[in-house]
Each structure stands twice: as structure tokens, then as C-alpha cells.
Amino acid sequence: MIVLDQENKIFTLHTRNTTYQMKADQYNVLLHTYYGAKIDNCDLSVLLQCGERSFTPNPNEAGSNRNYSLDVAPQEYSTCGVGDFRLPAIELELANGSHTADMRYEGFRLEKGKYALEGLPGFYSTKDEAETLVIMLRDAAAQVVMELYYSVFEAYDLITRTVRIVNQGTEEIRLCRCASLCLDFPRSDMDLITFNAHHLMERCLDRGPLRPGIQSVGSVRGISSHQHNPFVILCGRDTDEDTGMCCGAMLLYSGNFEAAVECSQYENSRLVMGIHPFHFCWTLTSGQAFTAPEAAMVYSSNGFGQMSRQYHRAIRKHLLREPYDGRRKPVLINNWEATYFDFNADRLADIAREASALGIELFVMDDGWFGSRNNDDSGLGDWQVNLEKLPGGLEELVPRIKNMGMKFGIWMEPEMVNEDSHLYRAHPDWALHVPGRAPARGRGQLALDFSRKDVRDSIYEQMKVVLSSADIAYLKWDMNRSLTDVWSASLPSRRQGEVYHRYVLGVYDLLERLHRDYPHILIEGCCGGGGRFDGGMLYYTPQVWCSDDTDAIDRLCIQYGTSFCYPVCTMGAHVSAVPNEQNGRVTPLKTRGITAMSGAFGYEMDLGKCTAEEKKEIRRQVESYKTHYNLLHEGDYYRLSSPFQDRSFTAWEQVSPDQREALVSVVYGCINAAPLFGTLRIKGLNPDFQYQIDGAEPLYSGETLMKAGYPFPQIQGDYSAFQIYLRAVG
């Protein structure tokens, strides 16, 4: 709900549990007054304090009033060059060479429903599910108008934001920085949580106290990256899963980003989040506009768990565009770790036949089916079926697979090209490169210039031929390198600072075309695993391959960190063979299945090498996943322990919205002799319900299970695992 006090220029955004407020002051500076637990309508600017501070300039309008300074005031969207020396949200380069932006309140408008962004991803709604406030600011000297967009999803405690900059002057301006979100806090005694690490170990939680100065994470790799994720949390020092304040900020963007927090000299703090200013400079001629990517905020007074569940619900219902909406997605088998590049049609059919017999429903043909692709160094860019490997092409292979009761999926890497390809030999200028310099390679490949429409059109025409040649139900869109040599032949030298962002817009453009032309195809995003696991990609690819590391124990950490923002249904998770390819670890098949079940479930192994007992276990896993699918994908998610803090076990839980069902999963670490007896306190149940566990007696009250707990079974063997299913009776 949006409440307006037009006389006092106060704008209040209410969700079910939170309040967000801003106010235009006597100088028409838009101040941020409050974001936190819900408060009845009032002017929260009474919380703001001012006073004379040395070396804090005063605006010209303030005259001799030295108590008023932008360097102290909590601004709704921080400016540049006019007295606020903290992190700016915007930086302009004007025709006269100055880098000053001074935005003042000019007006507002209200809209039903959620705003939409042309060419960019974002949450969506009907007119009744959200409200939008647009606040207009103006820099009169620069003749620049800024529109701040806020949409309120009341039921989810979700507020989305974006910024639109319009050049209303006659001279060209350059936009050197344009953040999507600026959020001032009146305190600095908080922790910053980021999700970091590297390829094969993405989104590991890192928590530390704010300190004076600037702390930041980000990416200049052209992708949101394995190293840092465009989601951060600011929280109280004592906040945990169930208690304390926390504020999550998520950027729906798949390219270079920065999330920076500054603690000022007066112990307040500012979060600024948006496109990374590295090599970003966008030219706006007269009348042109620039729109920043969307950011989404959730505030919780009841710990991380509540924040995560609100993100999960909102993402599932208002961000993902699922071809399987309301239906169960199929369990898949991917041939990559079984065959790599060495396969033919008969080999693929053998894998599909084994999988179908075990209840698996979707066969995915991975890398190596096209062009001259027999290794990493050739073929990318030539999206024609290799008829030596697949005689008769997909027109023959796909019906063969479908006759086994399986759907068919395919792997592609549209953004990339090998120098050993027909495409590159015909169009070497289509790859990103700097004139006069030899380009760097990654995985033996170059990146195509997706900022160019002619390049995208050519790739898409090839893709359409393949995707229309047979009944294809699934596409794995991969991207296996960071961007270097970022320069485009299609832009003049003065506009090369637009290439990184135009590249991302190009990726979105092609994905949107796929969504339009092939709405039945489920697209899974991949970027060397989790290098582009972000809200932007989820708008186009409703699941993302969570990591190239398929080891069940490593995946506990990866999936734990991912769960703070992103729901289980978005995490591609497969059971693979042991010893694990990435780290050589041997874990029980049951454990690998339980870990992968908390994701978009599948297998990536040679089923023909499995024993009869292993096949029996796989069949049981597939049946269990199908049985509990709605609970796993639609249930509320609870983290019961952290793999980063308690190495003895990791536990998590899904609870149905009506609290009548729950599935608890536990994976042990290394087992010691004479292990300690323990209990696990379960969460999210109805205290008044009586629950049956795994269909057996006795019954336990929800209150007992949540307050006293459930006893751990005594299990032998490292990395063992178990699940318990709770169902309310009566």
C-alpha cells in the first residue's frame, strides 16, 4: 500500500510487515526517513538530526544555515559534486566537462500494478497484485530528469526499484554511473553478508562487521560471476535465522555489477548497488533516456529465514516464467559426464534406455553434437548437427528417444565462437576484440559481440533451425568464459563504454526471442555452472545450473548460500558418479540423491555402469522426488543448520504452505566413534497439529518437534544421510 501526504511531500510504502518512507524537504531534496518494521502512518523525518559539522558544505539555498548539509542528510538517491562526499548513486559528465548532478524533487505519479522495463528483466504482476510510485527529480542546470520507480508487493514484503534518466537538454550528456538502489541507514553497527568464492564453489556465505570506509563486492568479468553474487544482506550483529533485523538487496542483472557500503564519519551507512562503473559510460543525446536494471529489497524483523522465504515466494510467483507452471518438471539425465565429446546416436540411445527404465523422463544431449566439435577448440558458432555422430540428424534421434517415453533436450553455447569454425572464418570481426591486439582466449574460445543485432540475428537463425527440426522440450544455455577485449566495431570510440551493458541487453534480447517463439521449451541457464546465477537470468531461464561441482558435500555449502535469496526450484542439481570428478570424494548414492533433491533434480552419470542395487536406489530416489515434488518446490524453506558452522551435519526442511506436510533432510559429515546423541529442532510446523513421521507411530505434536526436537538416528559411515517425512493427522 502506498500512502501519500501531498501537503508535506511524504511518501510511505507499506508491505504486510514493513514500512519504507521518504520525504522532500524544504529545499526539495528527497530524503530517506525510514525502512524497517511496519509503523502506522506518521512523519518519520522527526528521526532525522542535523547540526553544524566542519567541512560539510551547505547548499546555496541554505544561506547562512550551517546546520543543513547533504553530507549528513540521508538521501533517497545520492548525487555527485554538490556537497555529499559519500558514495554517489549517479555521476553525469555534462557538455562543459563538469561531473555534477543535483537532483531536486519535482513531482510524482501513482500507477496500478508493476512497472515494466523494456529490454530488461523484472518482477511482474497484475494490476491488483502491486502498486507503483514514480517520483520525478530534476537537475535544472543540466536539464536532466530522473524518475525513481518503486513497486510494492505487499504480500511478500518486497519493494522493487529502478531509475530512469532522461536528457531534456539540447546538448549531449554522458552517464558515468547510474545505480539502481541507494539506501541510507541511520546506524553502522551492522554486519554485511555477501556470497563469494570461485568456480566450483559459488555463493559461499561471508559475514563481517561494517567498518569505517567503503566495503564492496562486484564483478568486471562481463558476467555476474562465480566470485561474487549480486545479492547482499545488511543485518544486526546478533541476527540469526529466526531473530533480528536484516535487509536483503538483490540486483536483477547478469553483467558487471557493484554493491558497495560506506560507513561515514558519523556512523551511519549507505548501500549503493547497480551496474559497475568500470568501463561504463552511456551517451544520451537530446531526448534520449537510460533505464537502470531493477533491484529488489526485502526487510525482515525476524531473521534471515523470514527474509529468504519472502524472496522465494516472490521469485516463484512473480519472476519466473515457467513453461511447467502448475505442473511437475521432468527428472532428467545429462550425458556429459558419461561420454564427454565421445558419443554417437547409439551411445546416446543406450543411456536414454537405461534412464527410462528407472523412471527418468528427460534426456539431455550435451556438448559435442554440432559442427566439428570433438574437443574444446573447434566448432562453436556452427550450430548444425554433426551427421557423422548423428546420422539422420535430430529428425531421426529425437523420435527414437521419445519412443522410449523420454522428452528430449539439447545443449547450446550461443554467445561463443571457436576460431576453428566456419562462422569465425567468415566473420572474424563478430568476436569481441580490440583492433591491433591479439585476443585472450578462455576455454579455447572467443566471445561473440552480442551488443550487435546482426550477430544475434545470425546466431538466432541457426538456433531456430535446430530447435524447429524436432520436438525439443529443454535447452541448456551455457556460457563458459569471462569477457575480455571488450570493444565493438559497431560503435564509435566515444561510445565503447556502452559495450558491456549492450552485451547483456543482447543476451536478454535473444533469450526473450526464445521465450516468445518457443514458450514450451524449458531453458536452463549455465555459465560454467553458477557464474551467472542471478535474478536477471532467472527471468528468462527459470532454473540455473547451480555449480559445475556436483560433489554432494560441496553442494551443501553451495546450495545453502544460494538459498538465502533463490528458491530450490531454480537450482539445477544432479547426482553424479563417484569418485567425484571435481574432488575425488566418494559419497553414498543415497546422500547424493538427498542433496540433489533440493533442486531441479537430475542425473549426470553412466547408468550402464551402475549395479543392480544402485539402480534400485536410483528408482527409489526418482519416485520419492516425484512424490514430494510440490513440497520440495513450493514449500517454505528452512535452514536448520549451517554447513559452514557445524561440520558434523547439515539439515534443511521444506514445509507445505498449510503446515500439514514437511520433509526434513540431514547429511552427516565425517563420523566419529561413539558419536554424540542429539536432537534436531524442526521449524515451521503448526504447534497444535499432531504429526506422523514416516507413516509410523507414535504421533508428535508440532510444539514438541519445534521446542524439544526429534532424536537423530545413529548412522555409521562418513557422509551418510537420511530424510524424515512428517504428515499431520486428524
- Could you tell me which residues are beta bridge partners of residue 232? 249
CA dihedral 639→640→645→646, nearest 10 degrees, is: -140
Q: DSSP labels for 358-399?
A: TT--EEEE-SSSBTT-SSTTB-TT--SB-TTTSTTHHHHHHH
Query: Phi then psi for 579, rounded to 5 degrees?
Result: -55, 140
Question: Quick one: three-class SS letters along 316-359?
Answer: HHHCCCCCCCCCCCCCEEECHHHHCCCCCHHHHHHHHHHHHHCC
Compute the distance between CA of residue 555 and CA of residue 599 in angstroms, rounded to an integer. 11
CA atoms within 13 A on the CB side of 384: 9
CA proximity to 542, closest of 223, 332, 321: 321
Compute the distance between CA of residue 119 and CA of residue 171 in angstroms, rounded to an integer. 26
**CB neighbour list of residue 288: distance below 8 Å, 6 or more residues apart:** 166, 167
Compute the distance between CA of residue 319 and CA of residue 251 in angstroms, rounded to an integer. 13
**CB neighbour list of residue 479: distance below 8 Å, 6 or more residues apart:** 223, 413, 415, 416, 526, 527, 528, 531, 532
DSSP character at residue 75:
B
**Count of CB atoms situated within 10 Å of the CB of 348:** 23
Beta strands in 446-503 (DSSP E): 446-447, 474-477
- Could you tell me which residues are beta bridge partners of residue 4? 11
User: Which amino acid does the sequence have at 406?
Assistant: M
Q: What separation in angstroms does the CA of 535 have from each of 229, 250, 402, 618?
A: 10, 7, 33, 32
Question: Annotated catalytic residue: which of 534, 548, 554, 617?
Answer: 534
Q: What separation in angstroms does the CA of 407 have from each of 401, 403, 404, 477?
A: 7, 9, 9, 17
Q: Please give the grid coordinates belonging to residue 358.
A: 528407472
Compute the distance between CA of residue 499 and CA of residue 490 in angstroms, rounded to an integer. 10
**CB neighbour list of residue 475: distance below 8 Å, 6 or more residues apart:** 409, 410, 411, 412, 467, 514, 518, 521, 522, 523, 524
**CB neighbour list of residue 621: distance below 8 Å, 6 or more residues apart:** 575, 590, 593, 597
Q: Please give the grid coordinates belonging to residue 702.
A: 508440532
User: Which amino acid does the sequence have at 639?
Assistant: R
Compute the distance between CA of residue 90 and CA of residue 175 in angstroms, rounded to an integer. 8
Q: Say how many residues make up the chain.
A: 730
DSSP character at residue 438:
P
Compute the distance between CA of residue 445 and CA of residue 452 in angstroms, rounded to an integer. 19
User: Which amino acid does the sequence have at 628?
Assistant: H
User: Which amino acid does the sequence have at 730?
Assistant: G
CB 182 within 8 A of CB 76: yes
Compute the distance between CA of residue 98 and CA of residue 651 in angstroms, rounded to an integer. 56
Question: Annotated catalytic residue: which of 191, 485, 512, 614?
Answer: 614
**CB neighbour list of residue 261: distance below 8 Å, 6 or more residues apart:** 192, 210, 214, 215, 216, 232, 234, 269, 270, 271, 272
Active site residue 614: yes
- Residues known to be catalytic: 534, 614
